[in-house]
Amino acid sequence: MNKEKGKTFTITDNTGKTISYEILFTFESEETKKNYIVFTDNEVDEDGSLLTYVATYDKDGEKLELKDIETEKEWNIIENLLAQIEDKIGE
């Protein structure tokens, strides 16, 4: 896991609105051989939890291009990693 906290990027959505995101961390899965980026726009949900997003990306690409998570297996890997991080934070 790479700590990228504090680094930011912006995306222009379908309506033309520019949104700034903060990178929380990146990681590579040995199972899927893909790189993942976990990021936030620092908004919170109705429960007060920080909204976070996950996507795949090409770490060797010149431009950051995010891609959707494609399989249930990928979601399971991500959810397990996030649960481990939550447990460590809770300790």
Q: Per-residue pLDDT tens for 75-88?
A: 999 999 888 888 88
Residue 1 has pLDDT above 50, yes or no: no
pLDDT-derived band at 6 (thresholds 50, 70, 90) equals low
In SS3 terms, the chain reads as CEECCCCEEEEECCCCCEEEEEEEEEEECCCCCCEEEEEEEEEECCCCCEEEEEEEECCCCCCCCCECCCCHHHHHHHHHHHHHHHHHHHC
Domains held by the chain: number = 1
The tens digit of pLDDT for each residue in 9-40 reads 998 888 999 999 999 999 999 999 999 999 99
Q: Which domain holds residue 20?
A: 2-90
- pLDDT value of residue 53: 94
The 10s digit of each residue's pLDDT in 44-63 is: 999 988 899 999 998 887 88
